[in-house]
Amino acid sequence: MSVHARLRATVPALLPSSQAGPPEITGRPGRWMLVQRSDAEIVAQPLDDVFVVRAGTSVRFPAPWPRSRGTWEVAPDASLAVFAGVHAVRAVDPSGATRWEVRHGCWYGACREMHESYDAYADRQDHRYPESGSVGFSADGRLVWAHVRGPLPEGELSPDAVDEWLVIDAETGHVLARADAEAAAAGSVHLPHPTDPRQMGLSIGEGQDGAPLRWGRWDGTELTVDRLDGDLCLLSLSPSGDRLMTVSHDQDSLAVRDSRGTVVEALDWNAEATIPRHPDAPTDPDADEEEEEEVEVDVCWDWAGGFIDETTLVVSTAESDEEWGRGRHWLVGTTGARGVVPIDYPSPVGGEPTALGGGVWSTLSETRDVLHVWGPHGLEG
């Protein structure tokens, strides 16, 4: 059984690939936005329901430091961009003015300085490849959640706290709450609850050491942080926000969970048991012709994909497939008997898929300057 992918839209990048990172489609159905980051700026362009850019709506946010020195996020209404840097979280409006800044400890592991500005370490060789945190806007854009290296200038949560998780007023920059993330990150990603601005997921990567997963709830007074069991990478939330898609740190297990981390109705899939052998994987060249044996092939889930609707995931195994041939993408049905089904594209695609919601997903062209938007076009047995 397979599902055919139908091309829904072709979306060109806003900036040349030689000058910028790859383009991304962010937001939710009805509020999609094309964004791209260069060293000098972020460009954001709202998209309509068929992924055509809305004329005259381009917004540019001058960047306070190069894109290799941190992460970033644009508000849902494109009124503000927040940059998570090595020494500070800074909010910038389209004029380039700094709306607010929250300074924190340095993300270069051996550094214990509280830098006043980017210029303080811009030319230091030991700060060229720092670790990093991340930021995320709440669903309504009123809060910024920030994962930072402690401490803040006001002092430490405790002497043992390494990373902190902050809730910040997006308008004023006032830190409303802070908690010990109980991690020592190499990087992280925020995933907002799609309908409840009081909830946020934080997926933390600690390199080979693990992948702590945190779920935050802010009630207007107190920040409560749930520490989900296991080394799990949070990749997506369903449109309702009731379900989480995770892949284990070792990439063996794909699962659908509730916000407490419990696997929903046995919706978990082991890669080795679920994914068939790559069709181009060779047999053992040293085996006797009459006893031809297959070469052992390891398969793993990519840290990519997500919910395209409440009950369907798009996922991939491109990382482990690339040794044998073109990477494979899959649709996973979480209801009924369909299960994991390979996707057939009308032309070759590379890399990993990105779930957009609304029943569609995107892939990046090999030249990294065009996004292709796809939707399922029926199943074939």
In a domain, 325, yes or no: no
Banded model confidence at residue 294, pLDDT cuts 50, 70, 90: low
Is 69's pLDDT higher than 80?
Answer: yes
Terminal Cα distance for the chain, rounded: 4
| Percent of the chain at pLDDT exceeding 90 | 85
Give burial (CB, 10 Å; 0-12/13-18/19+) of 158. exposed
Mean pLDDT of 334-358: 91
Q: Which residue range forms the structural domain that includes residue 210?
A: 63-238
Average pLDDT for 230-255: 96
Task: Express each pLDDT in 165-192 by its tens digit.
Answer: 999 999 999 999 999 999 999 999 999 9
Please indicate, yes or no, whether the overall pTM of this predicted structure exceeds 0.85. yes
304: in domain? no
Locate 22 and state its tokens: 């790859």
Which CATH number do you get for residue 113?
A: 2.40.128.630
Would you say residue 261 lies in a domain?
A: no
Residue 140 lies in a domain: yes
Total H helices, total E strands in the chain: 2, 28
Span 249-258, average pLDDT: 96
DSSP sequence for 167-179: EEETTT--EEEEE
3-state secondary structure of 148: strand
Nearest-angstrom CA–CA distance, 96 and 87? 19
Statement: residue 309 has pLDDT above 50: yes
Looking at the chain, list the stretches that DSSP marks H as alpha helix, in order from N- to C-terminal side: 271-274, 318-321
Position 130, amino acid = P
What is the C-alpha radius of gyration for the chain, rounded to an integer number of angstroms?
21
Domain-embedded: residue 289: no
Beta bridge partners of 103: 88
For residue 153, being part of any structural domain is answered with yes
pLDDT single digits (tens) 120-129: 999 999 999 9
What distance in Å separates the CA atoms of residue 321 and residue 300, rounded to the nearest whole number?
9
Which is more confidently placed, 214 or 1? 214
Number of domains in the chain: 1
Q: What's the CA angle centered on 35, arms 29 and 41, to 5 degrees?
A: 155
Supply the pLDDT for residue 288.
47
DSSP per-residue codes, 275-309: SPPPTTPPB-TTS-GGG--BPP------S--EEEE
Structural domain includes residue 26? no
Residue at 72 is within a domain? yes
